């Protein structure tokens, strides 16, 4: 039996907002260990033809409407549409990887999504990332500089290579071994599959 569910995500993904706010509690309730796995979704999307939500398209309008509906069910209060795409996703993913290794990663991820989705602004900047770190009691400048180091870039590249080899093409994706469940609404299916092993 697989001992965990891998939660593959990118801090540039809109639907990961929903998953990041609910998966820890849901998995804990179901006695499931979840591993948070940030990766560079943008590089995979570029290989597959680009951004999934183009400005002004029917798919993008649907995405924001759908996020509003689902957020309401979860008691979340995002200000939508949020600025998209998110220019700080690469940096934020690397910071998340550092934080997950040091037990503050989930707090950072949730603070980041609250800043991106629940405050009014024109777009995420490095100063916003710093505010998220400071808001969870982390020293921002040094953490950001560490996240820019080549060795941290390589760590995220290795995670992205693993996601690519698994066949992951979007975020969030939940993996139970090699079985993939793409999308926030598939988390419950991933948990059910995990329990049936």
| Confidence band, pLDDT 50/70/90 cuts, at residue 5 | very high
Read off the pLDDT of each residue in 30-40 and give the average, rounded to a whole number.
Answer: 97
Q: How far is CA 38 from CA 15, 54, 107, in A?
A: 14, 23, 14
Q: How far is CA 157 from CA 51, 103, 132, 161, in A?
A: 19, 21, 23, 6
The full length of the chain comes to 197
**8 A C-beta contact, residue 192 and residue 27:** no
* Cα distance between residue 9 and residue 104, in whole Å: 16
pLDDT digits (tens, 9 = 90+) for 172-181: 999 999 999 9
H/E stretch holding 43: helix 41-48
- Residue 10, both tokens: 């990118």
Residue 18 has pLDDT above 80, yes or no: yes
Residue 30 has pLDDT above 80, yes or no: yes
Question: How much is the pLDDT for 46?
Answer: 87
| Confidence band, pLDDT 50/70/90 cuts, at residue 54 | confident
- Residue 28, both tokens: 């804990």
Q: How far is CA 1 from CA 4, 28, 41, 112, 173, in A?
A: 9, 18, 28, 33, 19
Helix (H, G, I), strand (E, B) or coil at 150: helix
Residue 53 has pLDDT above 90, yes or no: no
Residue 132 has pLDDT above 80, yes or no: yes
- CATH superfamily of the 5-196 domain: Glutaredoxin (3.40.30.10)
For the purposes of burial, counting CB atoms within 10 Å of the CB of 120, is it exposed (0-12), middle (13-18) or buried (19 or more)?
exposed
């Amino acid at each position: 039996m697989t001992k965990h569910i891998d939660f593959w995500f990118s801090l540039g993904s809109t639907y990961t907002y929903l998953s990041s706010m609910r998966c820890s509690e849901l998995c804990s309730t179901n006695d499931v260990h979840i591993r948070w796995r940030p990766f560079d979704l943008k590089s995979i999307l570029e290989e597959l033809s680009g951004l999934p939500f183009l400005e002004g398209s029917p798919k993008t309008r649907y995405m924001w409407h759908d996020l509003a509906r689902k957020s309401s069910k979860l008691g979340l209060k995002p200000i939508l549409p949020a600025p998209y795409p998110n220019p700080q996703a690469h940096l934020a993913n690397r910071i998340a990887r550092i934080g997950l290794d040091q037990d503050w990663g989930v707090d950072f991820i949730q603070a980041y999504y609250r800043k991106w989705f629940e405050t009014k602004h024109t777009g995420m900047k490095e100063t916003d990332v710093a505010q998220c770190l400071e808001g969870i009691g982390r020293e921002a400048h040094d953490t950001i500089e560490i996240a820019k180091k080549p060795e941290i870039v390589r760590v995220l590249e290795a995670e992205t290579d693993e996601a690519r080899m698994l066949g992951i093409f979007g975020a969030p994706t939940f993996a139970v071994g090699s079985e993939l469940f793409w999308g926030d609404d598939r988390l419950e299916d991933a948990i059910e599959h995990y329990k049936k092993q």
